Amino acid sequence: MSNNSKQLDGFEIILGVTGGIAAYKSAHLCSQLVQQGAGVTVIMTQSALKFVGELTFSTLTGRKVITQWLDTPDIYNAQHITLTDAADLFVIAPATANIIAKCATGISDDALSTFACSLGSDILLAPAMNSRMYDNPATQRNITTLKKDGYHIIGPDSGQLACGDVGPGRMSEPEIIFNRISELLSGKTPKRHS
């Protein structure tokens, strides 16, 4: 690695952001990824837009944020295939119980779940939700299914949640997620260079 090289030079990462208070942490993660040389495309659910604006992510990445499925002809142009073909890693942070259930069952009814369903690279999920939702047997079954399917899961951490409850459900800190991303890409050649 030359003196000017960055840790993630040449890697393409899709960052999925879902609707939860932890979405603000995703902006910090996005900034870290870009600063280390990654090309980052952000896909936000409609619920995520209620917590963080798409302008935040488009400013950080220098790219259009995908928020709707089939909202423009250029997105319809098989972008869910071409973008996922180019991606070295798909990170969903925060990953709510809803997106975890969609991924586990193959439901693709919005932009984020459609991209996840058509992915040809690794997926890293960073769960974030209320403890009762996380401990729910259905959520635990879905996480077990995703692990069997080859998904990578980081967290959640335990602590005080936004609702005031204390327990598991806090999204892992951006630095921890960044380190896991670096581990998953370590020793790999970016797809666009292979």
Catalytic residues: 163
Is-contact 43 75, C-beta < 8 A?
Answer: no
- What 8-state DSSP symbol labels residue 160? E
Q: Assign 22 to helix, strand or coil.
A: coil
Q: Assign 111 to helix, strand or coil.
A: helix
Query: How far is the C-alpha of 157 from the C-alpha of 25, rounded, in Å?
Result: 14
Query: How far is the C-alpha of 125 from the C-alpha of 184, rounded, in Å?
Result: 13
Specify the residue for token string 């952000």: 42
User: Three-state secondary structure along 36-98?
Assistant: CCCEEEEEECCCHHHCCCHHHHHHHHCCCCECCCCCCHHHHCCHHHHHHHHCCEEEEEEECHH
